[in-house]
Amino acid sequence: MKLKVIVHEAEEGGYWAEVPAIPGCSTQGETFEELLHNLYEAVEGCLSVDIAPIAASSHDRIFEIAV
């Protein structure tokens, strides 16, 4: 999966970034390297949130895939 990221220079120094494809997904870092590390964690955290409980019967299969 490829995601576009918008990186901004923070007024107080460092950087902050947002991922437009994932509403509310943003992070910051003092250096670009720290920002990049934090971006991976932020995206993983935003995508791992379950929005609503899944209603499934005993005949359904539930599994996760990596994209």
Rounded to an integer, what distance in angstroms lies between the CA atom of residue 32 and that of residue 47? Answer: 22
pLDDT at residue number 41: 95
Q: Count the domains in the chain.
A: 1
Provide the mean pLDDT of the chain: 87
Q: Which domain holds residue 40?
A: 1-67
Is residue 50 pLDDT above 70, yes or no?
no
CATH number reported for the structural domain that contains residue 23 in this entry: 3.30.160.250
Taking only the tens place, the pLDDT of each residue in 10-37 is 999 999 999 999 999 999 999 999 999 9
* pTM of the complete model beyond 0.85: no
Give the Å distances, CA to CA, from 44 to 30, 37, 60.
Answer: 20, 11, 26
Residue 35 burial by Cβ neighbours in a 10 Å radius (0-12, 13-18, 19+) = buried
